Amino acid sequence: MKNYLLLFSFLIVFASLYAKESVPKSVSKEDNTVRLLIDCSKSQSVISPLLFGHNLEHTRKAIWQGLGAQMVVNRKFAAADCGMPMRWNSTSGKGVAIDETTVYAGKRSVRLDGGCGIRQQHDWLTFQKGRKYVYRLWAKAEGKQTVSFRIVDRPGFHDIFYGTKEIESGDWTLFSGEFTAPLSVPAAKLEIVARSEGTVWIGAVSLMPADNFHGMRRDVIELFKQMKPSSLRWPGGCFAEYYDWKEGLLPVDKRAPTGPHQWVGLLPDSEGYDDYDIGIDEYIALCRELGCLPVITTRFGGGGSVEETADWVEYCNGSADTKWGKIRADRGFPQPYNVKYWYVGNEIWGMSLVKNKDPKACGALVLQHAKGMKQKDPSIRLAAGIVPNQQWLEPVFGDRNGLLDMVQDGFYFDGEITLENVLKHDADKQLLSLRQALDTIISDGKQKPITFYEWNVMWDRRGDAASAIFAAKMLNSFCRNAEKTRLEMTGYFQPITEGAIRVQPATCSLDADGMVYVMFAAHQNNQLLEVSGLSEAKASGLDVCASINSAGNQIFITVVNSNKADENTLDWTLPGKMVNTVDIQTLTAESLEDGAPLIEKRETFLPKKSNRLAVKIPPCSIMGICLKF
């Protein structure tokens, strides 16, 4: 018995709960024990880090007001209304106009006539005392003109920065510099003024903290690292249909904004436009900083062509003696990026810009894209943005050509997202049913691996107790069932401002789902342990996963208590070994109300010559237990 870990659980406790009240402490009334046997000698497959992947899509607040360090909105003046750039005002009430003939990036610039200027003010122009900031301004003039760049507090009493530059007549001129904020100011005003009579054009404006990482916020990146993302799918999602990767090779201020888009809900927080601040090179730099694999989604409609996608593969993976590999090398990146995972399009059947969405026609085009991509690099692994059903799978897998390596599926919660509904969700059933359905459709005797390209309770919402419990149950299920279902990788949608990381103008913090990812990161690269009694635990509202590290001296257990009212006591023994330390992290719903946040508690126990310990698991909670011996 020395190789067995006996978990004797769980004492079911009943307590009265009232609507809209905090989860109270319960009083034990009866013992209802479920025994789980974890056999340390029967470790199973290694839990792949690829089960803990994420998506980064340029939608809503993921970039602007999220990962992006840029503090200026509509900085290339792409969004305009009634002849004025949106989110900008005239400093004098006159003399400002949109110009579509003299432009620096994209289709528009701002023309300032007669000594006027433009300003914008909002929460994201927030400055911290002692912090350094960098600015850039591209301007063009008729004759010699003076332009000022000023940042001032809301009342206009205190300057954060004031600088001027003489612009000679001729080509576009860069006005740039660095300054240290002398005081902390929220929601400051940015003003750009032509100081003399005449005409000045403003082509692009930029303002960021000086410590930005390729235009991205370092504080957000550091939080992301804590979640240990294994892969990062980019640039979408639906946004992939609008992303021209070659545009991202231009200097960042010169890249033409993309927008407005067919789906108005894509970028409502930046007036319908994306400024291309993250190109392919910045994205690869981000993946390397995070220590994760890049996963790229190509555009299928909206101008996407077989040549374009093949060129992208060659730019990323080709040697320096290929056409696009040489372009990459000449840009300062001689070694190939070696992007292994690719998606041909995103949700071709639905939000894509493909006009003819007939499955056979789309399937034929998918195979053309796949063939072109694999001619550039046969080693890449491909999935396609199609529905995993007979109608869509048959055209691409029916001829057994082997061009597509994985079948994709995605999942958002089906029904009203309430804590009570989420507690009832059966992640195992969902995943096992998908595998069974795929094996019926693709019946060549070879199971195609599954990639769960997007999953969450829903997009465009903050994390809470419901989404966190959902995420914990999904991750437990991924770990337990990956081998039997051939689940190769997953992508949580999406971490920035939609469940995992909450971003404010000057700060950021882990949201509910992010706290779950930090907890579950301990499973990565561990060996899954065989657990007897899971069905009994599940019947009692408990979801359990256990793994052991490669050194064999730590066991990590994650438990989700889906009971609304019942506190459970987890009682285990470890025959033949003494537990030296027990580290416990508990995430508990603050209340039973929908939208309730999580309360975190950390504890460490030092058992005295004992191989047995009891731990209480609160209702509506997630617990990570690390046994060290």
Q: Which residue type is seen at 247?
A: E
Q: Is 320 exposed, middle or buried (0-12, 13-18, 19+ CB in 10 A)?
A: middle
Q: Which CATH class is domain 4-47+526-628?
A: mainly beta
For 227-267, the pLDDT digits (tens) are: 999 999 999 999 999 999 999 999 999 999 999 988 888 99
The DSSP letter of residue 432 is H
Name the 3-class secondary structure at 324: helix
The DSSP letter of residue 416 is -
Q: Which residue type is seen at 335?
A: Q
Cβ(215)–Cβ(154) below 8 Å: no
For 279-315, the pLDDT digits (tens) are: 999 999 999 999 999 999 999 987 889 999 999 999 9
Identical fold, 4-47+526-628 and 51-69+213-414+430-460+487-523: no
Residues in the chain: 629
Which residues are CB-neighbours of 442 under 8 A, at least 6 positions away?
393, 397, 407, 448
| End-to-end CA separation in angstroms for the chain | 16
Q: Where are the beta strands (DSSP E) in 246-396?
A: 293-298, 341-344, 381-384
- pTM value surpassing 0.75: yes
Question: In CATH, what is the architecture of 80-209?
Answer: Sandwich (2.60)
Q: Pick left, alpha or beta for residue 95 (phi over 0 → left; psi -120 to 50 → alpha; otherwise beta).
A: left
pLDDT value of position 560: 95
Question: Closest Cα to residue 361, out of 408, 403, 309, 396?
Answer: 396
* Cis amide prior to 260 (ω within 30 degrees): yes
DSSP-assigned states of every residue in 275-301: ---S-HHHHHHHHHHHT-EEEEEE--S
Cα distance between residue 181 and residue 161, in whole Å: 7
* Cis amide prior to 115 (ω within 30 degrees): no
pLDDT value of position 155: 87
Cβ(449)–Cβ(485) below 8 Å: no
What kind and span of H or E run contains 249?
A: none
Q: Is 332 exposed, middle or buried (0-12, 13-18, 19+ CB in 10 A)?
A: exposed
Q: Which residue has the tokens 């046997």?
A: 37
Query: For the chain, give me the number of helices (H) and strands (E)?
Result: 11, 32
Q: In the predicted model, is pLDDT for residue 12 greater than 60?
A: no
Q: In the predicted model, is pLDDT for residue 326 greater than 70?
A: yes
Bridging pattern class, strands 554-561 and 542-548: antiparallel
Cβ(376)–Cβ(310) below 8 Å: yes
Q: In the predicted model, is pLDDT for residue 8 greater than 50?
A: no
Is the domain spanning 51-69+213-414+430-460+487-523 CATH 3.20.20.80? The answer is yes
For 174-201, the pLDDT digits (tens) are: 999 999 999 999 999 999 999 988 999 9
pLDDT value of position 21: 30
Cβ(459)–Cβ(515) below 8 Å: no
Taking each helix axis from N to C end, the angle separating 218-226 and 280-290, rounded to the nearest 10 degrees, works out to: 50
For 554-563, the pLDDT digits (tens) are: 999 999 999 8
Cα distance between residue 240 and residue 560, in whole Å: 35
pLDDT value of position 29: 37
Cα distance between residue 246 and residue 326, in whole Å: 14
Structure tokens at 523: 């499973």
Domain ranges of the chain: 4-47+526-628, 51-69+213-414+430-460+487-523, 80-209
Q: Which residue has the tokens 């370092």?
A: 218
Taking each helix axis from N to C end, the angle separating 427-441 and 465-485, rounded to the nearest 10 degrees, works out to: 40
Cα distance between residue 435 and residue 444, in whole Å: 14
Q: In the predicted model, is pLDDT for residue 57 greater than 70?
A: yes
